[in-house]
Amino acid sequence: MRRLLALLLVSGAVPASGQSLELAPEQLKANIGDVLTIRITARLPEGQELLDFAPRTLLTPPEGIRIVSSDTLVRDRNGEYHGKVRMAFYRIGRQPVPTLALLYRPAPGASPDTLLHAPLAIEIIPILPAGNPEIKDIRPLRLLGGPVWAPLGILVTIVVAGLYWLSRRNRPRARPRTEPSVPIPTGPFDVALIRLGQLEAASIASGNGIVPLFGEVAELVRTTLVEAGALPHRGLTTPEVPGRLPAPLAAGDLAEGCRGLLGDADLVKFARVKPDRAAAALHVSRARGLFEAWRDAAGGTDAVR
């Protein structure tokens, strides 16, 4: 039904002479997950009226394509309307740009019509090499068993350990020392560092914990920034989060480091990138350094208000 509706809209929305809607991407190739900017130009003959100043998609974009933002069209001295739309693609290969549409009135008092553009495609390049790379972290199988002296060494070790335990048992017991109490963290960034260590430990203990770890770290970053008062809510997109950070938390390369962590999580979630254990360890290390830098920039463990 949706395809039939789209065909009817396209067939009834062919622009007359002098009408046009043009899309011009700033680049025809990009890596997966990059935010692409596409320039929009709309032209109408004299006497026709543009009703939509913000382009909209004719149909809901398919999975793997995300509309990041779109500008309101502005008219120039020549009567043309200009603006930009930003999209992100999470599938490789030649990807079609979602069809954008604008409502206009062809004549005073006439019914609105739809202005469409010609089909456009973007070439999305994968960030991983093509083919089936060899997995290098799997060691070859070893035969069970071993040298004859191995069980004898284990037996000797058990005997020596038993003798040592008996000698320690006969000694007078020393008074147990009172360990100093560990302060309970109160700031959001100290709490985030403890939670980050728990996520890393759970990922290592799990056989399939690498891929979920990236999403959990990204969720921890958003939650911590909300609890610290740096973000209004956790629903901001990856490109929006760095721009909303307060000045102390965005100083230097902190904003770019936040963008990198969230961007890596998007690649794993949408592009189905399969990181290895070394990449996961590096990801956790970057997150730990970012939380520590934010804590220092916020003045200890106090939240940013």
Q: Is the entire prediction scored with pTM above 0.85?
A: no
Query: What is the amino acid identity at position 293?
Result: A
Residue-wise pLDDT for 20-40, tens only, equals 989 999 988 888 888 989 999
Residues in Cβ contact with 301 at an 8 Å cutoff, skipping those fewer than 6 apart: 185, 186, 187, 188, 189, 190, 295
* Chain center to CA of 292: 21
The DSSP symbol for 229 reads T
Looking at residue 186, what is its pLDDT?
64
Percent of the chain clearing pLDDT 70 (strictly above): 80
**What burial letters (b/e) apply to 158-182, b meaning 16+ CB within 10 Å?**
eeeeeeeeeeeeeeeeeeeeeeeee
Query: What is the amino acid identity at position 178?
Result: T
Residue-wise pLDDT for 236-277, tens only, equals 899 999 988 999 988 989 989 999 989 998 998 888 888 888
Looking at residue 56, what is its pLDDT?
85
